[in-house]
Amino acid sequence: MEWYDWAILLADVLAVPAILLGFGWRFMKRPPQDIDGAYGYRTPMSMKNRDTWEFAHQVCGRVWWRAGWILLALSAALLAWMQTRPGGGQTNWLLGILAALGEAAALLLTIIPVERALKKTFDQNGTRR
């Protein structure tokens, strides 16, 4: 593969871990101020009130931070393995696409622990238990 192919593949495979790490850090340190803002962890339960909003971002930030490091390590290992394989340019692209899809699925799965923590800590109206 040419250097520019590797650069595109690298950006493709490392984009999700970088986003998870960046927003995970941001949400842990300074969650979005506006509940109706343009970004943030926005589910019906997280948007009940200020308390649920801040709690959801603390939990989401920690989950994303950890998931980002795990995905970064796995992605780096995959890229290193792909670099040592002889030939296989099209196979490397396929592996890169599959890795990006797996990372996107992992990003969606992070909703589960955050919603569980919200349901464990708050009742249906957003009041702490």
Asked, for residue 57, whether it belongs to a domain, the answer is yes
- 97 is in which domain, residue-wise? 3-121
Q: For position 88, what pLDDT does the model report?
A: 64
- 113: exposed, middle or buried (C-beta count within 10 Å: 0-12, 13-18, 19+)? middle
pLDDT tens for 39-92 read 899 999 999 999 999 999 999 999 999 999 999 999 989 888 887 876 666 777
Closest CA to 16 of 94, 101, 78, 81: 101
Number of domains in the chain: 1
Is 10 within a domain?
Answer: yes
Question: Residue 104 belongs to what H/E stretch?
Answer: helix 89-109
- Is residue 126 domain-resident? no
